[in-house]
Chains A and B, each alone.
Chain A
Amino acid sequence: MNTSYQYSYTNIEELLDILIEKGLIAPAVDQQAPAAGDPAPAASEQASPATEQHGPAAEAAPPAGEARGPEQQHPTAIGRRQVQSSDLAFVTVAPEAARHLILDLRDRFGFTHLVLLTAVDYIEEEKFLLTYLLHNYEMHHDIGVQVPIGREADRDSAGDRPAEANPDTAASMESIHDLWAQAGTYQRELKEMFGIDFPGSPRVDEPFILEGWDEVPPMRREFDTKQYSETTYFPRPGRSTNDPADYMRQKLYPKE
């Protein structure tokens, strides 16, 4: 039990229940939906005995008008919860709810350590999924707060915000540099590598690793490393190439 914080909990399922009770995360999505082909439970069944959260709070009916079905279980679906193991869980929340949740987790639940802040590019959904991983040093639990945001560049290269920028699709997120000192570095890297803007974050527009880069931000999935290097760097003729997959195929299936 952690005692020095406002809310105490004993295990990570209980933590998620408290978070729902306090209205910090959305109630569970439809618990009947997970079926064959649903990615999340398939992973956790094989990985650990822990499966999707089906606590008492999950009995609560989802808000009316919300779509049901397996697609709700995609990591970018708001309200998704995944208990990966006895000390690690992921929750997906809306961008406007994220800062409040992170602040409460830090100050009221004891998740004082920002382990990492990164993004995953779900290009097929036109979404980035930001992941804030927080660690509780008393309970030794981790919770990943995941925030889906849009992929469209929020500002042009001159730094001006285009008038038609849509807050729902813009690659922009509230900054947390005031909560952790190292968050500014993470946000600077995300700006450079994914083109995600964090207005107000210190030095966010300074280059982190790249100098004079004017291509697509390189960690976006539409950036093709191979094509870039072939067109940018001088091709050297006369080199033979060995495709590892072809080589392995010949070794394993010589008859074909």
Chain B
Amino acid sequence: MQSKTLKETNKSGPAGQPAVAADAAPNSAPQGPIIPLTDNHQAGRRVDLSSGKYLKLWQGPQHPGITGNMSLELTVSGDEVVDLRTHVGYLHRGFEKLMERRTYIQNFPIVCRICVPEPDFNEYLYAATVEELAGIQVPERANWLRNLTLEMARLASFLQWIGGQTGAFGMGVIGQWGITHRDYVLDLFEELSGGRIYHMYIIPGGVRGELPEGFEGRARTVLDKVENLLGDIERAMFHNAVFKDRAKGLGVVPREMLDSYGITGPNARAAGVARDVRKDQPYLLYDQLDFDVVTASGSDTYDRAWVRFQEIHQSLSLIRQMLTRMPKSGPIHTQLPNPLHWKIPAGQTYRRAECTRGEYGYYLVSDGSGYPRRVYVRGPSYTHAVALMESMAVGANIADVAGLMVSFHTYPPEIER
């Protein structure tokens, strides 16, 4: 507790730090709204909005630099961010509550909406938890098809992320390329499942349909197109002086923050920690596929982008391997009981998968009735967009906030649920 007056403190802020008023001394009554700062490292410090040194800005929910309908409440001093608070709840919310009032099969059209750009992880994990509690075995070919859709979803999601990451730094053209090629992947999904965004392809017991005639050839054409594009993106993005200048050294996540903030996925791998659920606790057929965990060491925005870029290459390779090695025929679905009378034995379980952003998990509790007692969705954005973002944005330039947020790759619906 310091006893400097607000005026003094503002004049003599620590070097490189915005001037932040210490806890007001007992005799200096606040003149205007005093905002406690959110970041853990600044606990107990407050800013005085009436001092004229600070400005409150809302970035979002309608802002081109925001992924999805989220908003960041910024307190800025000049162009430097002093405080950031994440607000969610503008898009979808209440999924978990809805699921408690619906039968297990009725929940399938709901779960895929929890993450718009890659719904398949929700379908797979919900199906996997239900199957584990109900004791349902999935045919082998269905597992291959599930794995294929998960990797295709990863590819589509990363291609969309490229647009966000480059767009946030003013390179909109690369975003256009990425979105176009994402559409080619979505065309494949449309062929496969009938839906471009929400596929509802993975259902308990297996998958909903066979690969269409000639799918493999068309899929390989799309993969080649994407691979050509990646060469262009590497030159235009990663060798670009503007991108390097702005992304290098931005938002460095120290390694000791990884565990205390629950950071997973590319955000952790960019810090040099080889953690990947696909390798560590292989699900589906990842133990039979050939891939290495991509890591980097800088842990800044550039390295996180580089890890994701390498994982696009990895995803292309995995899809090709699966197309080659997949059994060409066989059952794709196990007969389920009548969905109207389908009761799942009481129990609880947790299953996880590695989505593009990190560990995605479903915690399912059944009480033996026809309705789930509780479904909890563990999305990686929950900690990346709230605790981590609120901490990392402090001290950043306001122009970098959008790029920093995209570099954590956050999707708000998995926070709201």
B133 and A43 contact, CB distance less than 8 A: yes
A140 and B280 contact, CB distance less than 8 A: yes
- Complex A-B: 19 CB contacts under 8 Å: A39-B345, A47-B135, A85-B349, A87-B281, A90-B348, A115-B378, A116-B363, A120-B365, A133-B363, A140-B280, A181-B257, A181-B261, A182-B262, A182-B387, A185-B383, A211-B89, A219-B96, A225-B97, A244-B106
B350 and A88 contact, CB distance less than 8 A: yes
Instruction: Decide yes or no whether A180 CB sits under 8 A from chain B.
Output: yes
A43 and B347 contact, CB distance less than 8 A: yes
Known A185-B387, A203-B38, A249-B340: A180·B359 in contact at CB below 8 Å: no
Instruction: Decide yes or no whether B24 CB sits under 8 A from chain A.
Output: no
Complex Cα spacing A226 to B97, Å: 11
With most chain A CB atoms within 10 A of its CB, the pick from B280, B366, B367, B374 is: B374
Question: Given the complex, which residues of A lie within 8 Å of B261, measured CB to CB?
Answer: 180-182
Question: Given the complex, which residues of A lie within 8 Å of B361, measured CB to CB?
Answer: 115-116
Instruction: Decide yes or no whether B46 CB sits under 8 A from chain A.
Output: no
Report, nearest first, the 5 A-B pairs whose CB atoms are least far apart: A43-B347, A46-B135, A39-B346, A209-B89, A182-B383
Instruction: Decide yes or no whether B259 CB sits under 8 A from chain A.
Output: yes
* Closest B residue by C-beta to A206: B85
Contact count band on B = 35 or more
Complex Cα spacing A158 to B121, Å: 42
Complex Cα spacing A180 to B243, Å: 33
Known A114-B262, A180-B262, A244-B106: A218·B363 in contact at CB below 8 Å: no
B350 and A42 contact, CB distance less than 8 A: no
Instruction: Decide yes or no whether B94 CB sits under 8 A from chain A.
Output: yes
Instruction: Name A218's contact: one of B97, B262, B373, B388 (CB within 8 Å).
Output: B97
Question: Given the complex, which residues of A lie within 8 Å of B98, measured CB to CB?
Answer: 225
B262 and A245 contact, CB distance less than 8 A: no
Q: 19 new A-B pairs (CB below 8 Å) besides A75-B365, A203-B38?
A: A39-B345, A39-B368, A43-B345, A46-B134, A46-B135, A47-B133, A85-B349, A88-B349, A88-B350, A115-B350, A115-B352, A116-B363, A180-B260, A181-B40, A182-B382, A209-B89, A211-B89, A225-B101, A245-B340
A47 and B347 contact, CB distance less than 8 A: yes
A42 and B346 contact, CB distance less than 8 A: yes
Instruction: Decide yes or no whether A118 CB sits under 8 A from chain B.
Output: yes
Instruction: Decide yes or no whether B386 CB sits under 8 A from chain A.
Output: yes
Known A218-B94, A252-B338: A209·B347 in contact at CB below 8 Å: no
Complex Cα spacing A211 to B89, Å: 10
Complex Cα spacing A181 to B61, Å: 25
Instruction: Name B43's contact: one of A131, A180, A202 (CB within 8 Å).
Output: A202
Question: Given the complex, which residues of A lie within 8 Å of B376, measured CB to CB?
Answer: 116, 118, 131
Chain A 204-248 per-residue mask, 1 if CB under 8 angstroms from chain B, else 0: 000011110000001101010110000000000000000011001
Complex Cα spacing A113 to B347, Å: 23
With most chain A CB atoms within 10 A of its CB, the pick from B38, B98, B135, B368 is: B135
Instruction: Decide yes or no whether A98 CB sits under 8 A from chain B.
Output: no
Instruction: Name B259's contact: one of A43, A88, A113, A133 (CB within 8 Å).
Output: A113
Instruction: Decide yes or no whether A144 CB sits under 8 A from chain B.
Output: yes
A112 and B382 contact, CB distance less than 8 A: no
Interface set, chain B 319-341, CB cutoff 8 A to A: 338-340
Known A84-B348, A180-B262, A210-B89: A120·B373 in contact at CB below 8 Å: yes
B94 and A118 contact, CB distance less than 8 A: no
Question: Given the complex, which residues of A lie within 8 Å of B367, measured CB to CB?
Answer: 39
Known A140-B281, A209-B88: A46·B345 in contact at CB below 8 Å: yes
Complex Cα spacing A210 to B87, Å: 10
Complex Cα spacing A174 to B18, Å: 34
Complex Cα spacing A98 to B352, Å: 24
Chain A 168-209 per-residue mask, 1 if CB under 8 angstroms from chain B, else 0: 000000000000111011100000000000000011000011
Interface of chain A, helix or strand or loop or mixed? mixed
With most chain B CB atoms within 10 A of its CB, the pick from A44, A142, A181, A202 is: A181
* Closest A residue by C-beta to B416: A209
Question: Given the complex, which residues of A lie within 8 Å of B348, measured CB to CB?
Answer: 43, 75, 82, 84, 90, 144
Question: Given the complex, which residues of B lie within 8 Å of A245, measured CB to CB?
Answer: 340
* Closest B residue by C-beta to A48: B132
Question: Given the complex, which residues of B lie within 8 Å of A137, measured CB to CB?
Answer: 275, 280
Question: Given the complex, which residues of B lie within 8 Å of A16, measured CB to CB?
Answer: none
Question: Given the complex, which residues of A lie within 8 Å of B340, measured CB to CB?
Answer: 245, 248-249, 252
Instruction: Decide yes or no whether B93 CB sits under 8 A from chain A.
Output: yes
Tell me how far the C-beta of B148 lies from the nearest C-beta in chain A, rounded to whole angstroms. 25
Instruction: Decide yes or no whether A147 CB sits under 8 A from chain B.
Output: no
Question: Given the complex, which residues of B lie within 8 Å of A84, measured CB to CB?
Answer: 347-349
Question: Given the complex, which residues of A lie within 8 Å of B132, measured CB to CB?
Answer: 47-48, 85
Instruction: Decide yes or no whether A40 CB sits under 8 A from chain B.
Output: yes
Question: Given the complex, which residues of A lie within 8 Å of B315, measured CB to CB?
Answer: none
Complex Cα spacing A245 to B338, Å: 12
With most chain B CB atoms within 10 A of its CB, the pick from A116, A186, A218 is: A116
Tell me how far the C-beta of A51 lies from the nearest C-beta in chain B, rounded to whole angstroms. 12
B260 and A118 contact, CB distance less than 8 A: no
Question: Given the complex, which residues of B lie within 8 Å of A121, measured CB to CB?
Answer: 374
Instruction: Name A40's contact: one of B257, B346, B378 (CB within 8 Å).
Output: B346
Complex Cα spacing A155 to B148, Å: 50
Tell me how far the C-beta of B255 lies from the nearest C-beta in chain A, rounded to whole angstroms. 12
Question: Given the complex, which residues of A lie within 8 Å of B259, measured CB to CB?
Answer: 112-113
Question: Given the complex, which residues of B lie within 8 Å of A85, measured CB to CB?
Answer: 132, 349
Complex Cα spacing A68 to B347, Å: 20
Tell me how far the C-beta of B376 lies from the nearest C-beta in chain A, rounded to whole angstroms. 5
Question: Given the complex, which residues of A lie within 8 Å of B135, measured CB to CB?
Answer: 46-47
Tell me how far the C-beta of A213 lies from the nearest C-beta in chain B, rounded to whole angstroms. 11
Complex Cα spacing A184 to B416, Å: 16
Tell me how far the C-beta of B200 lies from the nearest C-beta in chain A, rounded to whole angstroms. 15
Complex Cα spacing A46 to B347, Å: 10
